Structure 1
């Protein structure tokens, strides 16, 4: 009788455990259908769960990189716009210098041209002190204030830092968010000494309004410096345009990588609706059959067999 009792207990225990496992499996499939996810707990599949966490972290970092890229794009776009306005102002300054170099003009006419150049200088100074997307100096490097200030003599002096900050774009890539004023406004003048476009325009305006003994010669000399300065400004615009293109390239790659991560995340963690339904139906069928079989076997005894 001990053998029979032991065998019966083992049969009941094994059957109970198998039915419990089937019920747990069915509940898991039902949970997957409700949540749309294969993995409810890390213990369900530690390797897959670890990979999903990695993908989630990478996506979070990608969001930060995208935010940096948007800021850099905004600042560089503002820089490009300001430089374009400067270019237009300098082209007008060249036209005025060409007029002023004509020896037939009267002093009053040259003074009138000088007054307009004063206005152009003020416009250039305002553009040089433009603000970025955070309200800081666009061309002042890391400075939060103005990039240029006026000294006691009214000359524009650069007061920003030596370089503009960089912003990470992901995967070890970064971009400089702008340019400092001296990087595109400063150059070597026709006299062989360092100067900048602000100084050229300001000095020409003063010369035409009586500060120079030979305003016609000053206007002719300024034409050379204005051309050199405009070339420097154009080079700066090219640099800004290249950086904007680089942001676009890294943005496209970020989008592609995000799509790949999304696909991998779906493959690893998302439950396939049709497959999960089929598995649930199969499990429920086996469970019902097991319960029915267990019930029939459990009701059998030695007397029913003898009868």
Structure 2
């Protein structure tokens, strides 16, 4: 008849390992509850950890898009304000030119109007060379300097870049952050290309020179100013559309951020109710195991033989 014996050392080792495993499981559940996350390292859930990294990377990229949207909004709002001032200038210029087109206007009065038009033109040049949020010319595109230079004769020349540059808003969407000088000041009159600054110089020079051509210059200038105001109004519409586009992409980005946050909670977040239940179950098993071990460890063969 074989004799079956139980190794005391093996019994203690096995019991110690089982109790230690239960304690480790309980501590892990308590840690999950305290930090609100069930994944502390990739080995806890490789698939879930990989998805969390993807979501966190998307959150980081979204912050860059938020910064770009804020910069584009600031530049476009500055542009919109400048266009509002420019429209007011052009409306005033039309009033002055309409007065100068009157046949009863004296040469001296037209000369005074020419001086005022010249002053408004200088203000418009300063407006064109005003700075954006980065310190560049507002209507100079991506140029670090002025948008327009003025030569000794008073002629204005655009020296900015051809485009204002785009800023990414995420998901392959971009927005042009401003307008260039030609996009605002250039237009055509009866099929002939011109720009507002040149038209104003022509008017001011004609009014100050006087003579029979001054009244005709005023009548011709009205057509140019009407086209110029249309160009400014169109530019305002473009800027408004871009600001609306930024608002739409911002709203979409916010919605996507909320969806990512919910998914992060689902993938890596701690289910409080389920975790508490598991913790209670584990603690119950741990207490029972400790009690059983204590009772079994106190038994001996001599006690069984009594």
- TM-score if structure 1 supplies the norm length? 0.94
Match in the other structure for 1:241:
240
**How big is each residue's C-alpha offset from its partner over 1:53-92, in whole Å with a ceiling of 9 and x where there is no partner?**
1111111110110000000000011111101110110011
Check whether the contact 1:212–1:218 (CA below 8 A) recurs between aligned residues: no
Residue 152 (structure 1) shift: 2.3
Alignment of 1:169-184 (within 5 A): 169-184=169-184
Match in the other structure for 2:5:
4
**How big is each residue's C-alpha offset from its partner over 1:115-138, in whole Å with a ceiling of 9 and x where there is no partner?**
110111011111111211111111
> 291-300 vs 269-278, which deviates more?
269-278
Check whether the contact 1:206–1:212 (CA below 8 A) recurs between aligned residues: no
Q: Indicate the SS of the match to 2:5.
A: helix
Residue 203 (structure 1) shift: 1.1
Q: Indicate the SS of the match to 1:40.
A: coil
Alignment of 1:151-170 (within 5 A): 151-170=151-170
Match in the other structure for 2:113:
113
Partners of 1:211 and 1:105 in 2: CA distance? 11
Residue 269 (structure 1) shift: 2.1
Q: Indicate the SS of the match to 1:20.
A: helix
Partners of 2:127 and 2:222 in 1: CA distance? 21
Report the count of equivalent residues.
305
Residue 156 (structure 1) shift: 1.1
Partners of 1:113 and 1:211 in 2: CA distance? 11
Structure 2: gaps spanning 5 or more residues = none
Partners of 1:101 and 1:54 in 2: CA distance? 68
**How big is each residue's C-alpha offset from its partner over 1:34-70, in whole Å with a ceiling of 9 and x where there is no partner?**
3222122222112211211111111111011000000
Partners of 2:200 and 2:216 in 1: CA distance? 15
Match in the other structure for 1:72:
72
Alignment of 1:111-260 (within 5 A): 111-190=111-190, 192-210=191-209, 213-260=212-259
Q: Indicate the SS of the match to 1:4.
A: coil
Check whether the contact 2:107–2:211 (CA below 8 A) recurs between aligned residues: no
Check whether the contact 1:66–1:169 (CA below 8 A) recurs between aligned residues: yes
Residues 129 and 212 from structure 1, CA distance in 2 versus in 1: closer, same or farther, beyond 3 angstroms? farther
Q: Is 1:296 paired with 2:303?
A: no
Match in the other structure for 2:63:
63
**How big is each residue's C-alpha offset from its partner over 1:132-171, in whole Å with a ceiling of 9 and x where there is no partner?**
1111111111101110110221011100011111000001
Partners of 1:302 and 1:193 in 2: CA distance? 116
Residue 211 (structure 1) shift: 6.3
- TM-score if structure 2 supplies the norm length? 0.94
Check whether the contact 2:66–2:169 (CA below 8 A) recurs between aligned residues: yes
Q: Indicate the SS of the match to 1:143.
A: coil
Following TM superposition, the consecutive aligned residue runs of length 4 or more in structure 1 with deviations greater than 6 angstroms are none
Q: Indicate the SS of the match to 1:168.
A: strand
Q: Indicate the SS of the match to 1:232.
A: helix
Q: Indicate the SS of the match to 1:140.
A: coil
Partners of 2:287 and 2:122 in 1: CA distance? 88
Residue 33 (structure 1) shift: 2.6
Q: Indicate the SS of the match to 1:135.
A: coil
Residue 294 (structure 1) shift: 1.8
Check whether the contact 2:107–2:210 (CA below 8 A) recurs between aligned residues: no
Residues 212 and 239 from structure 1, CA distance in 2 versus in 1: closer, same or farther, beyond 3 angstroms? farther
